[in-house]
Structure 1
Amino acid sequence: MSETVVAKRYADALFELGQEKSKLDVFQEEMNILKKVARENPSLENVLKHPRIPADRKKEVMTNSFKGFSEEVLHTLHLLIDRHRTDLMVPLADRFLARVNDYQGVQEAVVYTVREMSEDEKQRLSRTFAPKVGKDSLIIDNRVDPDLLGGMRIRIGNRIFDGSLRGKLDQMERKLLSANNRG
């Protein structure tokens, strides 16, 4: 069974449990922390995958690393250890967060600009582009990219809206090259 299918099953079960116990917000915060810690500390994955470290010790590491996490999320992480599926931590977190965002009518967007955007600019951008993708609002991850020269490029899911000066110049170049090749 593919990794994404298995991660989806765990994420869906945790989502349903969160709904049932009215803890979606708590689980969402914990999944964001888990994702961040897992990505910033590759040594954690090495410990969790090490064949000579017993499962009980790995569970202890997880419990100590994520003190204050809900019993349900810790139990899910312990289950991943028992089933030798700790490689699913980040995909599970990604899938869970996507499911919560979908439930709340929210979508994550990566916005590339030449300078950092203000909160007001992010809110206006959210109000403008959220309806275009059928959502109520966007969670904007602003990334500065001076190569754009001006304007912005927005990635929402698998859709890209390119209003950057670099994008417009590239488009003009392609048109000129195709016109020269025909003539």
Structure 2
Amino acid sequence: MSEVVVAKRYADALFELGQEKSKLDTFQEEMKTLRKVALENGSLETVLKHPRIPADRKKELVNESFKGFSEEVLHTLHLLIDRHRTEIIIPLAERFLAKVNEHHGVQEATVYTVRELSEEEKQRLSKTFAPKVGKDSLIIDNRVDPDLLGGVRIRIGNRIFDGSVRGKLDQMERELLSANNRG
């Protein structure tokens, strides 16, 4: 069975459990932390997959590393260790977070700008672009990209809205080249 399908099953089960126990917000924060740690620290997966480290020791390590996490999320991690499925931690966290966002009518967006945006600017972008993708609001991850020259480029799921100066210059260049090739 593919990693994506397995991750989806675990994420769906954890989501339903979170709804039943009114702990969705808690699980959401824990899964954000888990995803961040797993993405930034490749040694976590290496240790959890290592065949010479006993499962009990791996569980202790998880308990120590994620002290304060809910019993349910820790239990899910223990299950992944027992079933030798620790490679799905990141896809599981991402699927879970996407499901919670869908439930709340929000979506994550990456906004590239030449400088850091203020909270007010982020809210205006959210208010403007969320309806374009059928959501109530956006969770904005602002990334500074000096190559843009000015303006913004927004990635929401698989859609890109390019209002950057660099994007407009590139578009003008393509149009000029295409006109020269025809004429």
TM-score interval for Structure 1 and Structure 2 normalised by the shorter chain: over 0.9
Alignment correspondent of 1:59:
59
TM-score normalised by structure 2 residue count: 0.99
Whichever residue aligns with residue 129 of structure 1, its letter is: F
- 2:116 maps to which residue? 116
Give % identity: 85
- Residues in 1 aligned to 2:40 and 2:89: alpha-carbon distance in whole angstroms: 13
Give the corresponding residue for 2:161: 161
* One-letter amino acid matched to 1:160: I
- TM-superposed deviation, 1:20: 0.4
TM-score with structure 1 setting the length: 0.99
1:42 shift after superposition: 1.3
By how many angstroms is 1:50 displaced?
0.6
State how many pairs are aligned: 183
CA-to-aligned-CA distance 1:35-58 (integer Å, 9 cap, x gap): 111112211111101100011110
Secondary structure of 1:115's counterpart equals coil
Secondary structure in structure 2 of the residue aligned to 1:109: strand
SS of corresponding position for 1:121: helix
Q: Unpaired runs of 5+ in structure 2? A: none
**Structure 1 residue 18 corresponds to structure 2 residue 14:** no
Taking the aligned partners of 1:44 and 1:2, their CA distance within structure 2 comes to 21
Unaligned runs of 5+ in 1: none
Tell me how large the CA RMSD over aligned residues is: 0.6
Partner of 1:137: 137
